[in-house]
Amino acid sequence: MIGVINYQTGNAQSVLFALHHLGLEARLVATPEEAQGVDRFVLPGVGAADVTMASLRERGWVEHLQERVCGDGIPFLGVCVGLQVLFEHSREGDADCLGWLPGEVVEFRRGELRVPHMGWNAVRRTSAHPFATALPPAAHFYFVNSYHAVPADETDVAGVTEYGPEFASVVARGNVMATQFHIEKSGPVGLALLSRFAELRPEELGACELRGQAVPAC
């Protein structure tokens, strides 16, 4: 069962619709108490990182996700802001984030680029991670983002997109995967990635090596 985290901000309903379109078992979960029976999570996101983190903390998700994802090693997929909050800090609202992956989130260079970065853009695979292998050699995905992650560990980058310089548009480490683009709005290629996430078994993803804050690193 896939649990789509439904908090005060996000695009949870559209992600749930995409999962149901694929015939996958999924439901919205607003609090950790509703997550019984869930064996993998999707964290969608629309809006600002600081607002997202405040909502996750208020509902008890930070501790719960670190226990289940970092501790138990269940698969996790972040989407859009759900990718950005995986890192240590976001300059958007000066927010401390989950800190599972080393790095920070910065704004695109205003004046040099149109911000937000919006519309269809290409993603180039850079990793052999089992999730990333579902990326086609040449495909476009749908983006809406003013900020982007700058991973401190290049091995966490699973796909890149050019907007000005290249930026990390897919990240993956062990059981944690995330896309900066809206996977649920990216047509057949996005649905294929969602399907890939749903079928991955924890043993395919290797040992959990996330940093974690409230829970000791696994």
The DSSP bridge partners found for residue 182 are none
Q: Is 162 a catalytic residue?
A: no
Q: Is 218 a residue of the active site?
A: no
| Helix 12-21 with 187-199: angle, nearest 10 deg | 80
70 noted as active-site residue:
no
Instruction: Note the helical H segments in the chain.
Output: 12-21, 49-58, 61-65, 81-84, 187-199
Catalytic residue among 97, 117, 184, 208: 184
Q: What is the DSSP string of 60-105?
A: THHHHHIIIIIIT---EEEETHHHHTTEEEETTTTEE---SEEEEE
State how far the Cα of 199 lies from the Cα of 194, in Å rounded to an integer.
9
Residue of 80, 92, 129, 148 with catalytic role: 80
- State the residue for tokens 């850079």: 126
**Where in the sequence numbering do the catalytic residues fall?**
80, 182, 184
